[in-house]
Structure 1
């Protein structure tokens, strides 16, 4: 990861640039949804391709299995991500209602919670009391402080529908590429499989690089790690298909 120099850091931390960054909505959830969907889509699809090739299936069977799984599994994953994000949102809202009720019914007890929370951070005396007074003077700030400090909840608002759509789109887009060589006429099955493997490998590496870029990790290391994970899943699927072919004998077309 490239380190930012002091001069560039000073520019980034000017008051106007800090205000601009803090005003921006976080994009990490969309990136996470995309990376999750793309990796799973490519790994799942190429694993089916590898298993079917190892079992001796024809290109048509590989295509049917690949695309059927691509849509069904992509939809299933999108629904699962929708439910997960929706559950997170509902939990946040339930906790918000609880804190609003507590502040209404037992405000002094809630003020004491704020006092103890910030006392544990090292504040004391007049400074501590000023913090408590400032926070509890604003009902919204008071509630959000309790959600973050007492419950440990993220206050970022994420859309379950957006998460589901991003996951599905990334799953289908990345998962389609390893199937493309089997659509091309005139290529022998081994050549199609090699071409599919090359495409899958490039996707694994590219997604790993993207993940490293977004989360400030070493790009090459992140790309290679994702590539190795995807390759291991494909090798396992190929081995299973090949062993089943040997066990039951013959070529299935």
Structure 2
């Protein structure tokens, strides 16, 4: 990007113009939003790292051995990863069911009360600022294409996207992100020469780097301020870990 806010340098402007060529726009509008899988990954990765490092922090605060940390950490990693994957699967299935139900409803309404549905389209676009002959042309164009008519009603009346996530894909991405990223804070506990304190400190550094990296990726993908996104994710993850560490220290006297 250019140095001044809102300004583009020559290379960025050329790239932006290339992205807005008619064929590029057409291809972009016909594919599913890229954020769908990314959101599943971010959900699993952040929760996996937070959950596992919370166990590490809590166990360290309570004075547990590395064997206990590993058993609790990996058991929780698999169980919670599976639970989150199932939850995401069910949530995505509900989204698809809502899409299917709304589509059936609109198909039925268009068949039974077409003039009423045309009036809905008319009022929707009237609220967007269209009037007179232009408004009637929009209504005629949309209602002449049944698929377009239904998609417009789904988007405008129900707020439902025509792109429905696949439940199995969403579940698998969440599960493997949870397992893969969530295992990172446990890696130092697999190194035998290190004592418990060293293992915890290294785990803390790894978890912090992981939180920050996830935030950076999230900011990059969603075109947000990259550094701010990384720091925000780091702060939230660190807060959860600090809470677990504090609870571990508080409960140490009860289990000593």
TM-score range, shorter chain: over 0.9
Distance across 2 between alignment mates of 1:145 and 1:164:
29
Deviations 1:113-133 (A, max 9, x none): 111111111112221111111
Match of 1:163 in 2: 170
Q: Is the 8 A contact 2:95 2:164 kept in 1?
A: no
**Aligned equivalents of 2:117 and 2:255: distance in 1?**
71
Residue correspondences, number: 249
* 1:64 alignment partner, one of 68, 71, 89: 71
Select which of 51, 61, 67 maps to 1:54: 61
Structure 1: state its 5+ residue gaps. Answer: none
Q: Map 1:56-205; keep pairs closer than 5 Å.
A: 56-205=63-212
- Gapped regions of structure 2 (runs ≥ 5): none
Q: Distance in 2 between matches of 1:217 and 1:129?
A: 39
Secondary structure of 2:130's counterpart equals coil
Q: Deviations over 1:2-22 (max 9, x none)?
A: 764433322322222222322
2:59 pairs with 1:42: no
Report the RMSD for the aligned CA atoms in angstroms.
Answer: 1.4
Report the TM-score when normalising by structure 1: 0.94
Hey, what's the Cα distance between the residues in 1 that align with 2:68 and 2:241?
A: 18
Provide the secondary structure at the position in 2 that maps to 1:122: coil
Alignment of 1:12-23 (within 5 A): 12-23=19-30
Q: Secondary structure at the match of 1:150?
A: helix
Give the superposition deviation at 1:249: 5.3
Q: Distance in 2 between matches of 1:136 and 1:15?
A: 25
Cα distance in 1, alignment partners of residues 113 and 27 from structure 2: 38
CA shift at 1:137, angstroms?
1.0
SS of residue in 1 equivalent to 2:183: helix
Q: Secondary structure at the match of 1:157?
A: coil
Is the aligned partner of 1:210 residue 2:202?
Answer: no
Given that 2:208 and 2:238 are in contact with CA atoms closer than 8 Å, whether structure 1 keeps it comes out as yes
Scaled by the length of structure 2, the TM-score of the pair is: 0.93
